[in-house]
Amino acid sequence: MGMQGNHRVMYIEEVVMDGSGTVAVIRSMENIYELVIVGRRHNKRSGLTLGLRDWTNELSDLGEIGDVLASSDFGGNTTVLVVQQHTNVVSERHEDQIDNLREQNLKLFPADTVEEEADDVPMQRRST
């Protein structure tokens, strides 16, 4: 069951230039969304999160943006899901197995069907 035709789910990508723009976007989401999904680890040298580490817990399991969303300063009543992608180091002997899995996945989920489903998901892009 895909998300095709389900207009209750939205993907919104916000474009910001610095840390204050990031905070402004976060503040704009107060009481609008029931669920916000954010990544945990970001480039520590990125200007997009610059300054957020100054008032969040460096050792937090939520990451900088998750900390902002969970802080008492954020007036929203939103569920926050924090995800983190792990990278695996693969030995050479497993590369063939991975290639085989990729081929099997392409047979099960051809690229053109994935793109068709993605076209049905509403997406908005805003610059701030």
pTM score, whole prediction: 0.52
Residues 6+ apart with CB under 8 A from 91: none
Q: What is the pLDDT of residues 53-108, one digit of tens each?
A: 665 655 567 777 888 888 777 776 788 888 877 666 556 656 667 777 777 777 77
What pLDDT score does 56 carry? 60
Task: Please say whether the beta carbons of 52 and 63 come within 8 A.
Answer: no
Q: Is pLDDT of 3 > 70? A: no
What pLDDT score does 123 carry? 52
What pLDDT score does 94 carry? 67
Q: What is the pLDDT of residues 21-62, one digit of tens each?
A: 888 888 887 878 888 888 776 666 666 666 676 656 555 677
Higher pLDDT, 114 or 98: 98
Percentages helix, strand, coil for the chain, rounded to the nearest 5?
Answer: 40, 15, 45
